[in-house]
């Protein structure tokens, strides 16, 4: 195991990480986008993005795009490189406000979190479309880990914290159980060559209807490229 520091809330840190990783000339067979915050009070990343959207979504969007060339070079016809992005069932109630992605008009921790998780599903589907169109040996899938007993809940109300403490053993997954579907997506032979899937409990399932809106996927991708400062090479692909 080798550790390289990367702060997903900082575009500068992400770019520095990618430079350090590329300098090692390693192949990249699996990328798991797993960082996240939940229900944090209204605040911004160092780049001025609303924290849920900036860290949960834009950080992963930039990281994945900067590593795409390495992933494409690492994948083969028989062993595709794999991108796994961790979303949440919360995306089912998420609404993507394209005219207010930073939640400046009215901030709601729940709304901002759900929007960031919906954005990750839209991003994954669009990414798989582009990878397929380019004939790349890379697949992109999105995972719902379920309700997992982690420190992600530290910003919820104290009543919820007490309830969680009392019932976690019954209703919450352990971190190991929560990671199982991500690991399945990363290494299972059953997922070889399969992309554009939403996975829960190691099974393919249906995501929110709005996530399949291809026009919304395209518009979010284009806007995301502008926000993180990369060229939108997908504009040439329907």
Q: Which residue has the higher pLDDT, 39 or 102?
A: 102
> Distance (Å, rounded) from C-alpha 206 to C-alpha 203?
10
Query: Domain segments of the chain: what residues?
Result: 11-236
pLDDT at residue 97 tops 60: yes
What 3-state class would DSSP assign to 154?
Answer: coil
Give how far the C-alpha of residue 55 lies from the chain's centroid of Cα atoms, to the nearest Å: 10
Q: Where are the beta strands (DSSP E) in the chain?
A: 30-33, 81-86, 138-144, 198-200, 203-205
Give the full edge-to-edge strand order of the sheet including 198-200.
30-33, 81-86, 138-144, 198-200, 203-205
Annotated active-site residue 113? The verdict is yes
> Distance (Å, rounded) from C-alpha 190 to C-alpha 203?
10
pLDDT at residue 154 tops 60: no
> Distance (Å, rounded) from C-alpha 173 to C-alpha 57?
24
φ/ψ (deg, to 5) at 138: -140, 135
pLDDT at residue 10 tops 90: yes
Structure tokens at 10: 């900082």
Q: How confident is the model at residue 197 (pLDDT cuts 50, 70, 90)?
A: very high
CB 189 within 8 A of CB 197: no
Compute the C-alpha angle 228/140/63, nearest 5°: 25
What 3-state class would DSSP assign to 49?
Answer: coil
* pLDDT-wise least confident of 47-56, 128-137, 171-180, 210-219: 171-180
* pLDDT-wise least confident of 2-11, 57-66, 144-153, 172-181: 144-153
pLDDT at residue 146 tops 80: no
Structure tokens at 232: 């939108």
CB 61 within 8 A of CB 123: yes
* pLDDT-wise least confident of 20-29, 63-72, 105-114: 105-114
Give how far the C-alpha of residue 207 lies from the chain's centroid of Cα atoms, to the nearest Å: 14
> Distance (Å, rounded) from C-alpha 161 to C-alpha 187?
34
Q: 138-158 burial string, b = 16+ CB within 10 Å, else e?
A: bbbbbbbbebbbeebbeeeee
Mean pLDDT value across residues 12-19? 98
Q: Which residue has the higher pLDDT, 235 or 119?
A: 119
In degrees to the nearest 10, what's the CA dihedral of 112, 118, 121, 122?
Answer: -100
The CATH number given to 11-236 is 3.40.50.720
User: Catalytic: which of 113, 125, 184, 198?
Assistant: 113
């Amino acid at each position: 195991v080798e550790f390289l520091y990367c702060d997903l809330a900082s575009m500068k840190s992400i770019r520095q990480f990618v430079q350090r990783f590329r300098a090692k000339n390693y192949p990249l067979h699996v990328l798991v986008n797993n960082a996240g915050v939940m229900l944090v009070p209204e605040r911004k990343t160092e780049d001025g993005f609303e924290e849920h959207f900036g860290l949960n979504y834009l950080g992963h969007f930039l990281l994945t795009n900067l590593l795409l060339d390495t992933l494409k070079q690492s994948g083969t016809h028989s062993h595709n490189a794999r991108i796994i992005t961790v979303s949440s069932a919360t995306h089912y109630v998420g609404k993507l406000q394209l005219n207010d992605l930073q939640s400046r008009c009215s901030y709601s921790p729940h709304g901002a979190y759900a929007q960031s998780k919906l954005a990750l599903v839209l991003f994954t589907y669009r990414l798989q479309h582009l990878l397929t169109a380019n004939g790349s040996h890379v697949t992109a899938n999105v995972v719902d880990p379920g309700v997992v007993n982690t420190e992600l809940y530290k910003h919820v109300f104290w009543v919820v914290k007490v309830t969680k403490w009392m019932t976690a053993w019954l209703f919450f997954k352990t971190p190991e159980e929560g990671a199982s579907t991500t690991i399945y997506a990363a290494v299972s032979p059953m997922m070889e060559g399969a992309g554009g899937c939403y996975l829960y409990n190691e099974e393919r399932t249906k995501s929110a209807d709005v996530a399949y809106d291809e026009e919304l996927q395209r518009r979010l991708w284009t806007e995301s490229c502008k926000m993180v400062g990369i060229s939108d090479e997908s504009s040439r692909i329907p």
